[in-house]
């Protein structure tokens, strides 16, 4: 065959491949009318944690709209969301999870560790898989049917302590840490991590105080803490009470002076808005996503939908977490359809739930979520789907100065006799 004839043959073959692409697409699985993949999603959109739940619920639904409208759903099947407001109320959560199961949802999501703590007993008993955006070790240690989208509050505590020891602490001996913790799993996850790892981290815990999500003053507790002369005040809470604590610490002359670190439930735009930029200037915290505007593949589409549908949420990193959560849900469903088949999932029963868990969640491997957070993988014995966190600092009224991604080590809390008591 001459070179000229060979070139003509190659061109004709390429043209044939291009011409066949529409037909190949048409042969892909396509949902019949009424065929959907149903999921349950809850967020605390009203109530005492609404400053977090509102943008998170918006992001969940905005991302599902994007997935259905532009990506054709998951493996060609539209995702139908049964979305409900938990109001951060444990009794409502139990009712919501039952409804999710009764209405044939294939899996469910929560925004918070408190919601999942109320949901997990009935969900685990029924083998109904759940994914919590923000989590506490109690949600999935020991591993059952609940999974964490991001590193948990224990991981936050360890990551911040390691960062502090390497990058901030200059004194001799052990630095003194005072803990101020929300009186639910958001706070208890950090408490348990420090309890398990303080000696190994080389720090001394000098006080542990709790507060309610409705607190309006912590002057009394902070006066006691001030007398302990801590080097660090570590807060694991939501934005509203964290704002109260930091403002009180400033009024008492504790801050600036000590270092303040926050777990990731606090560190969002809502904290700056509630406390005031000058009050929280210099505060450190962890967070499991990138910043708005970073050059990652998933940023442009998320920004487009946020600004088009919920522009008030732009700049709030809680929106990023829940947008990513919906992308992960879609990936799980895609894998489950591929590996188990739609007919298995269509029944929305325990066999479908098992298929979603074993053929979807547990098949996740290196999914990058558009670079918006750490890569998502399932590791046997570790139900955290993402192990990577960052340390940030509030500078000039903005969350800034991202550290490199920090991988959180697995802590088997159930091996400590005090865990869960």
Q: What is the DSSP string of 11-32?
A: HHHHHHHHHHHHHHHHTS--PP
pLDDT value at position 28? Answer: 46
Cα–Cα distance between 324 and 49 in angstroms, integer?
20
Supply the pLDDT for residue 12: 40
pLDDT, position 41:
98
pLDDT at 230 over 50: yes
Answer yes or no: is pLDDT of 26 > 50.
no
CB count in 10 Å sphere of residue 130? 27
SS3 260: strand
At residue 130 the predicted structure's pLDDT band, cuts being 50, 70 and 90, is: very high
The pLDDT assigned to 254 comes to: 98
Question: How large is the average pLDDT for residues 9-26?
Answer: 39
CATH classification for the domain delimited by 37-151+292-386, as one of 3.40.50.1220, 3.40.50.300, 3.40.50.1820, 3.40.50.2300: 3.40.50.2300
User: The tokens 């949802």 sit on which residue?
Assistant: 105
DSSP string for 195-231: HHHHHHHT-EEEEEEEE-TT-S--HHHHHHHHHT--S
Contacts of 244 (CB under 8 A, 6+ apart): 211, 215, 216, 217, 218
Compute the C-alpha angle 186/183/224, nearest 5°.
115
Query: Where residue 29 falls among pLDDT bands split at 50, 70, 90?
Result: low
Under the banding of pLDDT at 50, 70 and 90, the label for residue 31 is confident
Per-residue model confidence (pLDDT) at position 30: 72
> Mean of the pLDDT values across residues 261-281?
97
Three-state DSSP state, 53: helix
Whether the pLDDT of residue 10 is over 80: the answer is no
pLDDT at residue 32 in the model: 84
The answer to whether domain 154-287+408-415 has CATH 3.30.70.20 is no
Give the position of tokens 């808005």: 273
Domain ranges of the chain: 37-151+292-386, 154-287+408-415
With b meaning 16 or more CB within 10 Å and e meaning fewer, what string describes 67-100?
bbeeeebbbbbbbebbebbbbbbeebbbebbeeb
Q: What is the mean pLDDT of the chain?
A: 93
Q: Averaged over 379-399, what is the pLDDT? A: 97
Please say if the pLDDT value at position 338 is more than 50. Answer: yes
pLDDT band at 110 (very low <50, low <70, confident <90, very high): very high
Whether 353 and 45 have beta carbons less than 8 Å apart is answered as: no
Tens-digit pLDDT profile for residues 134-184:
999 999 999 999 999 999 999 999 999 999 999 999 989 999 999 999 999
Please say whether the beta carbons of 327 and 363 come within 8 A.
no
Q: Mind listing the pLDDT tens digit for each residue in 36-60?
A: 999 999 999 999 999 999 999 999 9
- Banded pLDDT at 13 (limits 50, 70, 90): very low
**Does residue 362 register a pLDDT over 90?**
yes
* Identical fold between 37-151+292-386 and 154-287+408-415: yes
């Amino acid at each position: 065959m001459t070179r000229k004839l060979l070139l003509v043959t190659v061109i004709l073959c390429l043209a044939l491949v291009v011409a066949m692409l529409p037909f190949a697409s048409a042969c892909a699985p396509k949902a019949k009318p009424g065929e959907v993949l149903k999921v349950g999603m809850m967020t605390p959109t009203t109530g005492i944690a609404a400053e977090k739940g509102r943008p998170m619920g918006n992001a969940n639904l905005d991302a599902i709209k994007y997935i259905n409208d532009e990506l054709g759903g998951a493996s060609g099947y539209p995702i139908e969301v049964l979305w409900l407001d938990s109001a951060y109320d444990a009794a409502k959560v139990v009712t919501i999870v039952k409804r999710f199961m009764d209405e044939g949802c294939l899996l469910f999501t929560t925004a918070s560790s408190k919601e999942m703590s109320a949901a997990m007993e009935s969900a685990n008993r029924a083998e109904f898989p759940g994914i919590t955006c923000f989590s506490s070790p109690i949600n999935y240690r020991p591993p059952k049917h609940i999974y964490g989208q991001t590193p948990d509050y224990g991981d936050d505590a360890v990551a911040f302590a390691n960062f502090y020891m390497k990058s901030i602490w200059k004194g001799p001996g052990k630095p003194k840490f005072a803990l101020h913790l929300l009186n639910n799993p958001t706070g208890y996850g950090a408490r348990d991590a420090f309890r398990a790892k303080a000696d190994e981290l080389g720090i001394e815990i000098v006080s542990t105080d709790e507060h309610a999500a409705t607190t309006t003053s912590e002057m009394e507790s902070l006066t006691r803490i001030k007398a302990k002369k801590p080097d660090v005040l570590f807060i694991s809470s939501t934005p509203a009470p964290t704002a109260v604590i930091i403002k009180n610490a400033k009024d008492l002359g504790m801050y600036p002076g000590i270092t303040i670190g926050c777990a990731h439930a606090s560190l969002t735009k809502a904290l700056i808005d509630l406390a005031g930029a000058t009050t929280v200037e210099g505060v450190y915290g962890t967070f499991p996503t990138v910043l708005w505007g970073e050059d990652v593949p998933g940023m442009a589409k998320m920004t487009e939908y946020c600004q088009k549908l919920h522009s008030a949420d732009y700049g709030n990193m809680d929106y990023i977490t829940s947008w990513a959560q919906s992308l992960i849900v879609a990936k799980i469903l895609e894998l489950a359809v591929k590996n188990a088949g739609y007919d298995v999932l269509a029944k929305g029963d325990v066999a479908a739930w098992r298929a979603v868990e074993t053929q979807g969640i547990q098949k996740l491997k290196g999914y990058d979520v558009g670079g918006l957070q750490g890569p998502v993988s399932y590791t046997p014995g570790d139900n955290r789907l993402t192990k990577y966190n960052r340390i940030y600092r509030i500078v000039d009224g903005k969350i800034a100065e991202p550290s490199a991604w920090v991988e959180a080590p697995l802590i088997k809390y159930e091996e400590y006799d005090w865990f869960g008591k």
